[in-house]
Amino acid sequence: MTPRPESSGSRPKGTAGEKIPEQPTAAQQKSAAKKTAVPKQAAAKKAAPAKATAKKAAAGKTTVGRTVAKKAATKKAAAEKPSVAQPTPEKAAAVKKTVAKKTAAKTAVKKTSVKKTAAKTAVKKTPAEKATTVRAAAARNTATKAAAADVTAAGSLAAESPATKAAAKKATAKKATATKAPAKKTAAKKAPATKALAKKAPATKALAKKDTAARTTASKAPAEKALPKKSAVKKTPARKAPAEKAAAAQVVPPEMEVTVSPAVAAVDRERLLGGTHHDPHSVLGAHPVPGGVAFRAFRPYALAVTVVAGELRAELHDDGEGFFSGLLPLREVPAYRLIVEYEGTVLETEDAYRFLPTLGDLDLHLIGEGRHEELWTALGAHPMTHEGVTGTRFAVWAPNARGVRVAGTFNFWDGTGHVMRSLGSSGVWELFLPDIGEGELYKFEITRPDGSKTLRADPLARRTEVPPATSSVITSSEYEWGDADWVARRAEVPAHEAPFSVYEIHLPSWRPGLTYRQLADQLPGYVKNLGFTHVELMPVAEHPFGGSWGYQVTGFYAPTARLGTPDDFRYLVDKLHQAGIGVLMDWVPAHFPRDAWALAEFDGRPLYEHEDPLRAAHPDWGTLEFDFGRNEVRNFLVANAVYWCEEFHIDGLRVDAVASMLYLDYSREPGQWTPNEHGGRENLDAVAFLQEMNATVYRRVPGVVTIAEESTAWDGVTRATHHKGPSGFGGLGFGLKWNMGWMHDSLQYMSHEPVHRKYHHGEMTFSMVYAYSENYVLPISHDEVVHGKRSLVSKMPGDWWQQRAGVRSYLGFMWAHPGKQLLFMGQEFAQGAEWSEAHGPDWWLLDPGYGAEPDHRGVRDLVRDLNTVYRATPALWRLDTDPAGFEWIVGDAADDNVLAFLRLDPEGVPVLAVSNFAPVTREDYRLGVPDDVPAWHEAVNTDAARYGGSDVTNPDPVKPEPVAWHGRPASIRLTLPPLATVWLRPA
């Protein structure tokens, strides 16, 4: 018999002159059911010879009995159906043994043996029969199996006569009409997968069609329910003997299982289409089922889907709305691929729903506990090889979502067909998409609890689009670092005991228009020339609004794309390290903006923010505060701190707005906040978070320093977390803290006219009252040179000469004061205008063609020399946090506007710093000094001509005189330049 050619569509095509029958009406279905009852009795009589053979085979199960049964069945089928393709001997034996079973059941003679024998033989089908038969899923129920076997017997006998043949066809059409779901029309519209396999057994094709028709007439239940209703041929149930019950309880072997419909059930179908399915992998993909392996694919807009497994090629049935299914008579799920045909293109791909989860129980446990210190390796989008297949793993935490789908450039931003699965109670959703790689854009489409949908950027995206675009980008790093020496050395000396002067930079505006790699060619050389030990970069993490300077973060794990890729940023850090410059970054764990595509109410309910609106809303910035008491949120931030240090070799984190985190009543009026469990104003959750963050970073990344921008007198900001202070709290665990009090007081003093400064002298000395309560950084940051505060030089009173002299004297005082130094870009050359992120520093002031260029270059040269001497003088940094490293010479000379003090290294080697904040020269100004220094010489004089000063100096070594002064046994006489600071070292 010539095989039928393959169909190119999902519906079988008729051959020449053949007409595809129309689907019958409900009345026709009933008529077909009645007609099957008459031939059933006649068939029973005809089966008498077969009955004896079946009994013999059942009792003795001998080879002779089975052979006789097979021969008899073969002859019977050949005699009665000469015009139909001949069934196999096994099929004929199945028919006769089925009749024998039914007769035995009616007479109650050896019911158990006959039933078992009939059941075993009745379900022996060829692969083509299995693929075309829609059967009940509840095949393990003994009563149901008996009914199914009876119907099979009736159908097999009825199929032997031409009269019943037509009735069987009508019955088949009736079931197709009765099935309500369009995807279940498998009886009237044969699946292409069935066609392909049916060709291999042409002799059984006709018999399979008749057998199917009889069974579908007997059972009216929809395919998706998989539970047969009452048979069209009524039977009187016989009472089960104990032996029968025991047999029914046994596990049914595979050859006795009743096949089920492969189509997606109506409930699952609706949830998949609506984006609310929690476990699409349990429905889609390939699954062993009674009768074989069910293949189900959900490919919206596809014209056809074909399964390819080795030499097997089977086209799935088009169930409508993007669903395709087929039942293949396989013992186990094979390795397979899908060929998906769209209009104008054909794709061969792996099935995303055949893969096991990419996240293990340990990952999920750690996430739930809030202890996954490498969270970025678990969540987000990761190109990877999974089960031997390359693709991208997507994972996101969204516990309140009803469903999550992935949308991106790879599916034309329609996530309908890429449904993620929920991994238990973790709140994590995961999906591995094969053949998706680096550079693709994506977002998560989240179905909220109220059924509405929102498209969100990945909270753990490691790369983003360039703002104002907001998509996340799949990325992986191939960067090879060249800073191994730097990383190995940075842990040798703690930051508070090492030279530490910081140049703060707003990267996008330092040299507007430069990328990370272009900055890497210019920035390291500039900073190294000025002598700074570190740079502090702002902003780094992605943010939508440039005017926020990076302090309203939406991409906590992604360097801003404005300047390049993540690997480009790595290149910049690497080049700075190779130049001997440490890299700090501003880190913002206090709050985040309300953008509808980012973290705010991420899955439809407060998630990253506190559920209490009063606790969530930040009163100053219109942002939302993190819920530090939630495990997963705390984990998100702690892991983020580690991420920057480990993945980008960042040497330190300057933590923004710590005070706003520590106090429940920060910027809130009475009634706008709720006390903690002890009735206090401290945010205990934030305290615990900061302690955990610091402890984790210092443990995992030796040599890294954390710096708190904390503007209050909180006790123990830089104290170890396990050491409790007077307040009862352990320390927060920071390495350094910005000394906001010193910054405010000293700038306030410098802004006064010199004639009035004597009335504010304490503003310059008060810092030494608490200088050793914390490990301090003295910050002249971006916050002090914007928004009407004026640049540093413009804060100074007097004319242009006095302003520049004031800046020079102030910088000299600052570099000598206990604590580390930080200076914002542009202030190193006395820029007169306020900084703006829109245009950056006024570099033209250093153009040799500009008339006042020497004035600005002089201030920059002073900064270079301050850093050079500072780094070479341990007395200025070795005991920054130890009172033994500081001694006042004179701190009460308010009328003179003079301050003088000693800085000492551990060996007692001193540096004498003297500042004259009056605009007059003071000749022979006597200062007490130690008597063990034979002579002093100037190391720095901010009034030197090369800095733009009046060049009042002490060029010769100054020797002490045995004149007691300022409580010391010896003294020296100096000429103090106007508005200047002088450093003297032992000659």
> 374 with 642: CB under 8 angstroms?
yes
Asked if 720 and 727 count as a contact pair (C-beta separation under 8 A), the reply is no
User: Do 514 and 508 form a contact (C-beta atoms < 8 A)?
Assistant: no
Residue of 150, 445, 632, 656 with catalytic role:
656
CA–centroid distance for 316 within its chain? 35
Q: Cα(172)–Cα(29) distance, rounded to whole angstroms?
A: 8
What token pair was written down for 782?
């971006």
CA distance 825 to 834: 11
Other residues' Cβ atoms within 10 Å of the Cβ of residue 423 = 21
Q: Is 656 a catalytic residue?
A: yes
In the numeric block, which tokens belong to residue 749?
């003093």
Distance CA 645, CA 655 (A): 13
Q: Which of 798, 812, 793, 974 is nearest to 896 (CA)?
A: 974
List all residues 6 or more positions away from 638 whose beta carbon is below 8 Å from its beta carbon.
370, 373, 689, 692, 693, 696
- 273 contact partners, CB below 8 Å, separation of at least 6: 321, 416
Give me the torsion for CA of 823, 829, 831, 832, rounded to 10°. 110
The catalytic position among 458, 685, 709, 880 is 709
Using CA atoms, how far apart are residues 123 and 156, in angstroms rounded to an integer?
Answer: 11
Identify the bridge partners of residue 958 per DSSP, sorted by sequence position: 936
Which segments within 578-623 are labelled E, that is strand? 582-587, 591-592
Among the listed residues 486, 658, 461, the one whose alpha carbon sits nearest the alpha carbon of residue 541: 461
* Contacts of residue 614, Cβ cutoff 8 Å, sequence gap at least 6: 668, 672, 673, 674
Q: What is the 3-state secondary structure (H, E, C) of 325-387?
A: EEEECCCCCCCCEEEEEECCEEEEECCHHHCCCCCCHHHHHHHHHCCCCCHHHCCEEEEEEEC
Q: Is 452 exposed, middle or buried (0-12, 13-18, 19+ CB in 10 A)?
A: exposed
Query: How far from 920 is each of 96, 483, 754, 756, 943, CA to CA, in Å?
Result: 125, 50, 10, 14, 12
> Counting every residue, how long is the chain?
987
Is there a contact between 302 and 340 (Cβ–Cβ < 8 Å)? yes
CB 510 within 8 A of CB 523: yes
Q: Helix 242-249 vs helix 111-122: angle between axes, to the nearest 10 degrees?
A: 30
Two tokens, residue 116: 């078992």
User: DSSP states of 207-268 as a string?
Assistant: HHHHHHHHHHHH--S-TTT------SS---PPPPPHHHHHHHHSPPPGGGPPP---SPPHHH
* 978: DSSP letter: T
Is 895 designated active site? no
Distance between CA atoms of residues 257 and 226, nearest Å: 13
* Other CB atoms within 10 A of residue 379 CB: 28
Cβ 303 vs Cβ 343: under 8 Å: yes
Instruction: Classify 732 in phi/psi space as left (phi over 0), alpha (psi -120 to 50) or beta.
Output: alpha
Q: How far does the chain reach from its first CA to its final CA, in angstroms? A: 113
Residue positions annotated with a catalytic role: 656, 709
